[in-house]
């Protein structure tokens, strides 16, 4: 059994790529790369309409979820909390049935964690335990394991999630066939597109997927103020994220998320909030600014989810004697811009937050 993470050119090759390509959207191309280049805004399989509930955000909280070192959750806690957050979001108690609202067996599913702050011993990355629970949910919905890829920007980020080890070997707990990839800010096959003042391309692992599940976090960010759902997709997937950081990355994050290549693929956002960073983020340089939160959040609305995450950060900043992000000169105004672009619900009075303790 080969569980090595894959290289830049071969994550979907041979008969697997051909069979998947033929199944998606009536495809007649010879492989998924051609499909990705020519159908950036037509990602989902023919006849499948993903479920969506704009403005709804679910928060599930559970005490005593972290293991003794406080750095990551117990597997049983992560699995139980995912099941409940998906139930509260969709109304379906069975995890596989809940994921069927978001994935079709014909889908190529890309999962995007966030590992940038996990480089120094997996302190503040999306936790492997949540990634594994999501993978199992997607498989329970009928997606073959070989149709699932977990991707990150750099090797050290993926290692930070503990999904792979330092040799980039997939953790043996994951089902056989699941793959991993890194794009190194250069592995892209689509043509360049203009976004704001610059051109960019989105990584191949993203464009060759037909469904993307976003496993983001809740963190302070030294440039844009807050990093959550939208920024994990935009700056974690394009090949030149540095040029989109000007003036607090606003409205660039909103503009990058507004592209058809993104809107047609990303179907579900789950915030790994077992821990959060309320200041001096996005890296985990000051452990005093990292605190347990022991929650999962889920939504189909990235703007609403980021509004809630922003509120959580400001709450903890206030509790710790710090100014709000706005007062600190780092208001995440890109979230408002995203609402104005119609990407989700910015008005907090229209966001329906469902909070559950288990």
Domain that holds residue 127: 53-357
Among 150, 153, 231, 149, CA closest to 187: 153
pLDDT digits (tens, 9 = 90+) for 139-194: 999 999 999 999 999 999 999 999 999 999 999 999 999 999 999 999 999 999 99
Query: What is the DSSP secondary structure assignment for residue 202, as one 8-state letter?
Result: B
Give the mean pLDDT of the chain: 89
Among 5, 176, 161, CA closest to 78: 161
Q: Which two tokens stand for residue 264?
A: 């047609």
- Residues with Cβ < 8 Å from 279, sequence gap 6 or more? 220, 286, 289, 317, 320, 322
pLDDT digits (tens, 9 = 90+) for 301-324: 999 999 999 999 999 999 999 999
pLDDT band at 10 (very low <50, low <70, confident <90, very high): very low
Strands 290-299 and 211-216: unpaired
* pTM over the 0.85 mark: yes
pLDDT given for residue 41 in this prediction: 65
Listed range (15-29, 80-94, 174-188, 279-293) with the worst mean pLDDT: 15-29
Contacts of 319-324 with CB under 8 Å at 24 or more apart are: 320/278, 320/279, 322/278, 322/279
Q: Is residue 11 part of a domain?
A: no
pLDDT band at 43 (very low <50, low <70, confident <90, very high): low
What is the percentage of the chain residues whose pLDDT exceeds 70? 87
Q: Is residue 328 part of a domain?
A: yes
* CATH number of the domain to which 155 belongs: 3.40.50.11440
Q: Is residue 14 part of a domain?
A: no
Q: Which helix (H) or strand (E) holds 316?
A: helix 302-319
pLDDT band at 120 (very low <50, low <70, confident <90, very high): low
**Three-class secondary structure of residue 41 per DSSP:** coil
Q: Is residue 45 part of a domain?
A: no
Q: Which two tokens stand for residue 11?
A: 């994550």
pLDDT digits (tens, 9 = 90+) for 186-229: 999 999 999 999 999 999 999 999 999 999 999 999 999 999 99
The residue whose two tokens read 């976003």 is 214
Query: What is the DSSP secondary structure assignment for residue 88, as one 8-state letter?
Result: H
Domain count within the chain: 1
Q: Is residue 324 part of a domain?
A: yes
Q: Is residue 100 part of a domain?
A: yes
Integer Cα distance of 61 and 82 in angstroms = 11
Q: Is residue 179 part of a domain?
A: yes
Q: Is residue 42 part of a domain?
A: no
The reply to whether omega before 277 is within 30° of 0 (cis) is no
pLDDT given for residue 30 in this prediction: 29
Q: How far is CA 85 from CA 88, 247, 272, 328, 356, in A?
A: 5, 35, 11, 33, 8
pLDDT given for residue 53 in this prediction: 98
pLDDT digits (tens, 9 = 90+) for 258-296: 999 999 999 999 999 999 999 999 999 898 999 999 999
């Amino acid at each position: 059994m080969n569980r090595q993470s894959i290289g830049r050119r071969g994550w979907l090759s041979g008969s697997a790529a051909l069979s998947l390509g033929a199944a998606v959207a009536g495809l007649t191309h010879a492989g998924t790369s051609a499909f990705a280049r020519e159908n950036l805004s037509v990602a989902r399989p023919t006849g499948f309409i993903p479920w969506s509930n704009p403005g709804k955000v679910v928060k599930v909280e559970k005490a005593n979820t972290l293991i003794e070192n406080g750095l990551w959750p117990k597997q049983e806690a992560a699995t139980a909390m995912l099941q409940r957050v998906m139930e509260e979001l969709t109304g379906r108690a069975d995890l596989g049935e809940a994921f069927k609202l978001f994935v079709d067996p014909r889908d190529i599913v890309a999962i995007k964690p966030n590992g940038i702050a996990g480089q120094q011993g997996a302190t503040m990355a999306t936790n492997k335990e949540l990634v594994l629970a999501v993978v199992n949910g997607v498989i329970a919905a009928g997606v073959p394991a070989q149709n699932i890829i977990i991707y990150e920007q750099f090797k050290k980020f993926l290692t930070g999630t503990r999904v792979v080890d330092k040799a980039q070997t997939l953790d043996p707990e994951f089902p056989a066939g699941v793959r991993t990839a890194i794009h190194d800010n250069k592995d892209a096959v689509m043509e360049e597109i203009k976004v704001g003042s610059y051109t960019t391309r989105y990584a191949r692992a993203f464009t060759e997927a037909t469904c993307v599940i976003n496993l983001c976090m809740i963190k302070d960010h030294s440039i844009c103020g807050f990093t959550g759902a939208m920024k994990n997709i935009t700056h974690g997937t394009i090949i030149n994220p540095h040029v989109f950081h000007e003036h607090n990355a606003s409205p660039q994050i909103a503009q990058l998320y507004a592209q058809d290549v993104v809107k047609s693929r990303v179907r579900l956002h789950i915030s790994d909030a077992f821990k959060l960073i309320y200041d001096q983020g996005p890296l985990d340089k000051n452990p005093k600014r990292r605190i347990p939160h022991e929650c999962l959040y889920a939504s189909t609305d990235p703007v609403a989810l980021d509004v809630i995450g922003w509120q959580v950060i400001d709450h903890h900043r206030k509790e710790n004697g710090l100014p709000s992000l706005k007062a600190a000169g780092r208001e995440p105004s890109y979230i408002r811009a995203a609402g104005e672009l119609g990407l989700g619900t910015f008005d907090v009075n229209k966001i329906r937050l469902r909070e559950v303790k288990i």
